[in-house]
Amino acid sequence: MAGPDNQKFCLQEVLDSFKSCLSPNREIYMEHYVAGWKGLIKLLNSLGSVFGFISKDAASKTQILMNFLDSKNGSEYATVQSMVKFELDNELVDVNKKGIYPESGCRTLLRLHRALRWLELFLDRLRTSKEDDKTSVMCREAYNESLAHHHPFMIRKAAGLAFYSLPGRPGFLEVMNVGSPEQVVAMLGEAVPLISEVYTITEELYQKHNLLDLP
Ligand SMILES: CCCCCCCCCCCCC/C=C/[C@@H](O)[C@H](COP(=O)(O)O)NC(=O)CCCCCCCCCCCCCCC
């Protein structure tokens, strides 16, 4: 029987998670942030094994955050804001170079946060694309504008090759499990601003604490 991680991806599920992410005072709930990523990883897995190296990395980072949430300090990780405060107050972050905390919550979330910017740019391109536009081009452009700045040559090369395997626009919209292309586009219209808001709040928080370049 398929376990929960093998279930089919549904864009609605990701949208719901990112909706639940924001508290009334604009804090980001870790549980829902991680749930959003788990939904995205399901989609990536359904696109084929060529994306395995990307989904493995995202899954391992998601797992690190879930482990913090389940630990004895779990309540300190309830929101991204409380995690940053807790880890900085207790000097649990390698700030300048890798040291004894190579997998701190702050540096792990930063990697996913940078990928969220790629997602925002990619989904916005998809939302405004025309029928015969290529998903591989949208994906590459979004990647070059965001994550690529943080990746070494070999990763950029491997990612670039994987993009060629993306299904065309109609196939990609179908994988989202939403309905007609028009319905997917409408849902993207809701999802992109939400993802963008979560991204901006995190970016401002990390900027304020000088955490945007964590090794
Ligand atoms: C739809 C096609 C998906 C293309 C994904 C584009 C992003 C390409 C990322 C390539 C990452 C390669 C894997 C390794 C990365 C790590 O070296 C690197 C640095 O980590 P480190 O400091 O611990 O060493 N890790 C990262 O930058 C984090 C990458 C996380 C990538 C997550 C991508 C999730 C994609 C979800 C797709 C969902 C499609 C959207 C439809 C609603």
Q: What is the ipTM metric for this complex?
A: 0.97
Q: Which of 54, 123, 194 maximizes ligand 1 atoms within 8 Å of its Cβ, making it the mutation to test the pocket?
A: 54
pLDDT at 1 over 60: no
User: For 6-39, what is each residue's pLDDT tens digit?
Assistant: 556 688 999 999 999 999 999 999 999 999 999 9
As a whole number of angstroms, the distance between CA 126 and CA 168 comes to 11
- What is the reported pLDDT for 9? 67
What is the residue with the minimal CA distance to atom 22 of ligand 1?
A: 111
Nearest ligand 1 atom, CA 122: 40
User: For 178-200, what is each residue's pLDDT tens digit?
Assistant: 999 999 999 999 999 999 999 99
Specify whether the CB–CB gap between 164 and 47 falls below 8 A: no
Does this model's pTM top 0.90? My answer is yes
Nearest ligand 1 atom, CA 54: 13
As a whole number of angstroms, the distance between CA 182 and CA 112 comes to 29
- What is the reported pLDDT for 176? 87
CA distances in angstroms from 30 to 27, 54, 58, 99, listed in the order given:
9, 21, 15, 25
User: For 127-150, what is each residue's pLDDT tens digit?
Assistant: 999 999 999 999 999 999 999 999
Helix (H) / strand (E) containing 118: helix 105-127
- What is the rounded average pLDDT for all residues in the chain? 94
Domains in the chain, ordered, with CATH? Answer: 8-205 (1.10.3520.10)
pLDDT at 162 over 90: yes
With a 6 Å cutoff on the Cβ, whether 159 touches ligand 1 is yes
- What is the reported pLDDT for 10? 83
With a 6 Å cutoff on the Cβ, whether 92 touches ligand 1 is no
With a 6 Å cutoff on the Cβ, whether 59 touches ligand 1 is no
Structure tokens at 176: 């989202």
Contacts of 30 (CB under 8 A, 6+ apart): 65, 68, 69, 77, 78, 79, 80, 83
Helix (H) / strand (E) containing 179: none
Average pLDDT over residues 154-176: 95
Q: Which of 55, 111, 129, 161 maximizes ligand 1 atoms within 8 Å of its Cβ, making it the mutation to test the pocket?
A: 111
Residue 79, strand partner residues: 29
Nearest ligand 1 atom, CA 53: 13
User: For 47-105, what is each residue's pLDDT tens digit?
Assistant: 989 999 999 999 999 999 999 999 999 999 999 999 999 999 999 999 999 999 999 99
Structure tokens at 22: 């924001």
Nearest ligand 1 atom, CA 41: 36
pLDDT category, 177, cuts 50, 70, 90?
confident
- What is the reported pLDDT for 7? 58
As a whole number of angstroms, the distance between CA 175 and CA 158 comes to 23
Nearest ligand 1 atom, CA 14: 42
- What is the reported pLDDT for 5? 47
pLDDT category, 4, cuts 50, 70, 90?
very low
Residue 29, strand partner residues: 79
Q: Is 210 left (phi over 0), alpha (psi -120 to 50) or beta?
A: left
Specify whether the CB–CB gap between 207 and 201 falls below 8 A: no
With a 6 Å cutoff on the Cβ, whether 188 touches ligand 1 is no
- What is the reported pLDDT for 101? 95
How many of the other CB atoms lie within 10 Å of CB of 104? Answer: 22
Structure tokens at 190: 């809701």
What is the residue with the minimal CA distance to atom 32 of ligand 1?
A: 58
